[in-house]
Structure 1
């Protein structure tokens, strides 16, 4: 079986989408629709920068989604590879879960762009700049990461945010707690801790104000539900019921992204092929989780043509 997967924050780069839009009217339609939905020229920011503005959470989140959905639309319209026919489930990393839901019809493109703009703004506003931090723990499995986080907390928030793959876990919380964790990595048999260049401590309890904002935003959105199962970040299991999807999206803001467990569950369920849309971040993680899986990362027209010729 084949899963389509969608990248999260960190996969943005100045120039993203430019070549695809130049080559395909279908891609350009997506970028134009997102610009109209947000009332800003996000596509120009994506293609021209400045990088500092593109990296802002409120811009990066809808930009990454737009790039992934533009890639999918070109694949479907010009390659005649239709997700409903060629995919058996979808998943997305953090904000990528919104991309996955949009791809499967649970939210339309305009709604998805506006939800992600709200999500980005709310996550940025939840914690004053400088009070939170995140760090990647390299050479850490989930047990070591949890033990380190517990030891470093000392009454503050220090939690596992992303369980990415068997060798990389991200922690999030108060800056002082994250700094203590980095200092203690060797004591827990972890190779290295690297402070991440992020503006807020995502996927930890400090994000509760953003979770409240997303609960309110999602309550106003109608959804017919996805036409393919979605593997949810916070449960690492299939979900298709609209009410449950919305509840899990709210929980996801403060909860752990269980990516390693999601891919492992998909592999155990018989998924042997994973197609990453609009990025090259998730593919390597998938290979570290399921080494025998077939993985494709689709960004360019050449990538699309190669996939069309194969599936």
Structure 2
């Protein structure tokens, strides 16, 4: 019997047209977009479906991604697709919380809108950056940052999968880190096209602002196990969620560790819900490094992708 986890991508996977095929077919999906607009004042359908520059701006990207992911999630739930755990990358953790039953969609829209604004405004444009470190282990990257750079200004943002770490911080410090990391053996250090130094110490203030909003939310009991980015551990008590989400803003996302835990616990089917195939790639690389075979990955990005669930 297969054991399934739902995975939700984060910022950077967005694309124009995401969710449209579901929107056109399902009344419930249209209601999700309507609710998001009512809560935020943003025409989320137009944001997702029409060519625009706002979709790639953090304060708008986040509500667009969250709405799309939760709307598709609802379709899978209505079709009775079973899952035994949920996890998400950064922003995707909020959709995972909704999948876990802990975060009502309307409340999620409220807090996601403010999260996007606080993260966008945390550091003046052009002063922060992020870069992907390829071909160097997490331990080596950690050691280089600790011994050669100012850890108050730079840190690891994401543990994505074996051989892929993302660093984040002040622009100059990230540029210096790139040179030092290449000297230490990194194959490449690739600057990322982002609007801020996310999951770095520079976003501490954004986390503190977000905490005030999280305190307004009444989280429900967790019905489906979910794994937090901060700890890569299952969360069973919804009272822990606000603190985990506050710290998540300026702390590393431990996604590789999350995948390792799920695979070790016997999960063999991973369904990525939302745009792109980024997380599928992470699953495959992690499973390969763990020498684990028999892993199935499914992407549900368009309505036609649902046929994969019928045939599996």
Same fold (TM over 0.5): yes
SS in 2 for 1:100: helix
2:110 corresponds to 1:114? yes
**Aligned partners of 1:288, 1:36: CA distance in 2, in Å?**
40
Asked if structure 2 preserves the Cα contact closer than 8 Å seen for 1:150 and 1:158, the reply is no
SS in 1 for 2:101: coil
2:283 corresponds to 1:281? no
**Aligned partners of 2:151, 2:236: CA distance in 1, in Å?**
38
SS in 2 for 1:254: coil
Asked if structure 1 preserves the Cα contact closer than 8 Å seen for 2:152 and 2:201, the reply is no
**Aligned partners of 2:80, 2:306: CA distance in 1, in Å?**
10
**Aligned partners of 2:138, 2:153: CA distance in 1, in Å?**
17
**Aligned partners of 1:151, 1:180: CA distance in 2, in Å?**
13
The equivalent of 2:59 in structure 1 is 58
Gaps of 5+ in 1: none
SS in 2 for 1:190: coil
Shift of 1:29: 1.8
Q: Deviations over 1:77-122 (max 9, x none)?
A: 3xx224xxx1111101001000111122211111111111111110
The equivalent of 1:14 in structure 2 is 16
Asked if structure 2 preserves the Cα contact closer than 8 Å seen for 1:81 and 1:308, the reply is no
Asked if structure 2 preserves the Cα contact closer than 8 Å seen for 1:93 and 1:233, the reply is yes
Asked if structure 2 preserves the Cα contact closer than 8 Å seen for 1:152 and 1:158, the reply is no
Gaps of 5+ in 2: none
Q: Deviations over 1:131-173 (max 9, x none)?
A: 1111111122201221232345247512111000002100001
The equivalent of 2:256 in structure 1 is 260
The equivalent of 1:32 in structure 2 is 34
The equivalent of 2:46 in structure 1 is 44
**Aligned partners of 2:117, 2:189: CA distance in 1, in Å?**
28
**Aligned partners of 2:211, 2:151: CA distance in 1, in Å?**
28
SS in 2 for 1:16: coil
**Aligned partners of 1:129, 1:74: CA distance in 2, in Å?**
38
**Aligned partners of 2:66, 2:150: CA distance in 1, in Å?**
37
**Aligned partners of 1:155, 1:196: CA distance in 2, in Å?**
20
Asked if structure 2 preserves the Cα contact closer than 8 Å seen for 1:136 and 1:171, the reply is yes
Shift of 1:246: 1.5
SS in 2 for 1:133: strand
**Aligned partners of 1:127, 1:298: CA distance in 2, in Å?**
34
Aligned pairs, number: 304
SS in 1 for 2:249: helix
Asked if structure 2 preserves the Cα contact closer than 8 Å seen for 1:152 and 1:177, the reply is no
Cα distance change on mapping 1:36 and 1:155 into 2, 3 Å:
closer
**Aligned partners of 1:18, 1:30: CA distance in 2, in Å?**
12
Cα distance change on mapping 1:277 and 1:122 into 2, 3 Å:
same
Shift of 1:202: 0.6
- The two structures have a TM-score, normalised by structure 2, of 0.94
Question: CA RMSD for the aligned pairs?
Answer: 1.4
